[in-house]
Amino acid sequence: MRELVAVARFGGRIYWRDRVAVSTSVALSLGLGIGLPVLFSKLGEDVPVLATHLGLLGMLVTLTALNQAAVSLSARRDQLILKRMRATGLRDRDILGGELVNITLQSTLVAVAISVVLYATGTVPPPAQPVVFLVFVVAGAGVLALLGAAFTAAISRAEIASVMAMPFFLLAGVGGGGFGPMLKLLPEWVQSAFGLLPSTALVRALTIAHEGGAWSGYLMPALNLAIWAVIGLAAIKLWFRWESRKS
């Protein structure tokens, strides 16, 4: 556990010193996550501000967790940082686990910051079940970061990682409602397919937490995230690469 925490702290220091990560992941997320709901709240009562906020959270957690994990771990791999860390005697699970804990924490902090600002300004009401809301934000960020790590197996070079991961951000926006009610314009089978995404399950769980729904309503989102977590772990075990192909 001590080694995992040390790797997470190391990753956090690198994260906040990375101007690209801070500008694209943090600044962009805060700007979109706060700016759009505030703007929509000025347009009238007919605009679904809360639904937009929750849909944006699904998008932005995907950006700050899955996309960031794919970009960061691809860069660490190609720079041989992961290989050197293994050479120190650290266990694989501590290295990868520490990186993912750091990314999950950063993603959660961004989502919480967005939400707190919107609650404080009265743009959206706070959730009826705030603890459950936070639990699912952490769980969703963790699962998406895990999937981002698994996706690095398909990324040949770190330079193209952000481009290759971007479709997941866009899919999360459509499936969760971050781009508005676009999903309703699509055929039912497409809507059902989008419903299987982990980001969509996250938005559903956050919606239930906001409304104070029955506990049974969390079953399907939790099951969805658990299945994706198993898929991510299996993919990492089978295909994750600790060093670049060139090396």
Residue 28 buriedness (CB in 10 A; 0-12 / 13-18 / 19+): middle
Q: What is the mean pLDDT of the chain?
A: 90
DSSP string, 6-51: HHHHHHHHHHHH-HHHIIIIIIHHHHHHHHHHHHHHTS-TTS-HHH
The pLDDT tens digits of the residues spanning 192-214 come to 999 999 999 999 999 999 998 88
Q: DSSP states of 129-160 as a string?
A: SHHHHHHHHHHHHHHHHHHHHHHGGG-S-GGG
Separation between Cα atoms, residue 102 and residue 88, nearest integer Å: 20
User: Tell me, what's the pLDDT at 46?
Assistant: 67
* b/e code 153-177 from CB counts within 10 Å (16+ = b): eebeebeebbebbeebbebbbbbbb
Composition of the chain by helix, strand, coil, percent to 5: 80, 0, 20
- Per residue in 29-75, pLDDT (tens digit) is 888 899 989 988 887 666 788 999 999 999 999 999 999 999 999 98
Q: What percent of the chain has pLDDT over 90?
A: 58
Question: Using one digit for the tens of pLDDT, what is the confidence trace for 91-108?
Answer: 889 999 999 999 999 999
- CB neighbourhood size of 98 (10 A): 22
* pLDDT tens column, 135-167: 999 999 999 999 999 999 999 888 899 899 999
Residue 151 corresponds to which tokens in the numbers above? 């996706």
Residue 135 has a pLDDT of: 97
